[in-house]
Amino acid sequence: MKIISETLILVKRSLIRYTRVPQLLVFSTIQPVMFVILFAYVFGGAIKTSINYVDYLLPGILVQTTLFGAMMTGIGLADDISHGMIDRFRSLPMSRGAVLAGRTISDLLRNVFVIFLMVGVGYIIGYRFEGTFMGALGALFLMLLFGFAFSWISALIGIAVKDVETAQSAGFIWVFPLAFISSIFVPVEGMPKIFRLFAENSPITYTVDAVRRFSVNQPVDYTFWASIIWLAAILITFIPLAVRQFRKIS
């Protein structure tokens, strides 16, 4: 189909960009590495978890990394809009959806790379994945789906604000509270009631908890399915919204 080959052409473009500007990849991993060090060595001693804190922390960091990485989708689209690339694509006889799919899929591929890199960093500080091979695949699948779903939210924001700096700050305004009011860094049990209620139902907590269970070789439970439902709902909502917003660009 036409849209598939168009999407692949644009994925290729983004991947070439990542190989030419490796700084993009390097810088997107420096921040999570800092978080790992900060939490493992500075805050970690004061955080009580049922398992070893590094083993608790790393699945959270992996999800956080894909979450922050998803923000790149909106920033990249805003960059293309402000440089006229999107106008160029819109004047071509190509599918509107391909532009967005090309961007979100290339960000998904980048996430694969970043996840492996961060697992490597985790191994250096003592993290060990104790699950099965299938569990590893399940965790990888869930994290990529998570990153892909949040890429579409980010895409909508990027297209709506059309400007790199605004996309950057508009992205982090909602991502930051979402990341911290979750089980990424600390167990939700210690949070005040309202925060705890929010955290317990957040797609981030479900995803992190499910990945964590894979990591310590516990069987799949409701957290996995709740995460899948959340992510499917996000995709069903935000893909049409982003495509509609894209059509409205003028």
17 binds other proteins (CB under 8 A): yes
250 binds other proteins (CB under 8 A): yes
Instruction: Let me know: does 122 contact 29? Beta carbons within 8 Å.
Output: no
Contact map string, positions 72 to 101, toward other proteins, x by CB under 8 A: -----------xxx-xxxxxxxx-------
What's the CA gap between 115 and 142, in Å, rounded? 12
Nearest residue (CB) to other proteins, 83 versus 128? 83
The backbone region for 126, taken as left when phi is positive above 0, alpha when psi lies in -120 to 50, beta otherwise, is left
Nearest residue (CB) to other proteins, 24 versus 144? 24
Instruction: Let me know: does 160 contact 167? Beta carbons within 8 Å.
Output: no
Nearest residue (CB) to other proteins, 11 versus 235? 11
- Specify the DSSP class assigned to residue 185: T
CB of 78 to other proteins, least distance (A): 15
- Write the CA distances from 191 to 67, 180, 198, 199, integer angstroms: 22, 11, 10, 9
192 binds other proteins (CB under 8 A): no
Nearest residue (CB) to other proteins, 48 versus 88? 88
2 binds other proteins (CB under 8 A): yes
CB of 128 to other proteins, least distance (A): 38
- Write the CA distances from 164 to 10, 69, 72, 121, 234, integer angstroms: 20, 15, 10, 30, 23
Nearest residue (CB) to other proteins, 49 versus 82? 82
CB of 57 to other proteins, least distance (A): 35
CB of 15 to other proteins, least distance (A): 11
Residues present in the chain in total = 250
> Which residues contact residue 175 at a Cβ distance below 8 angstroms, ignoring those fewer than 6 apart?
67, 68, 71
CB of 98 to other proteins, least distance (A): 8
- Write the CA distances from 224 to 4, 138, 227, 232, integer angstroms: 30, 9, 5, 12
244 binds other proteins (CB under 8 A): no
List of residues contacting other proteins (CB under 8 A): 2, 5-6, 9-10, 12-13, 16-17, 20-21, 83-85, 87-94, 250
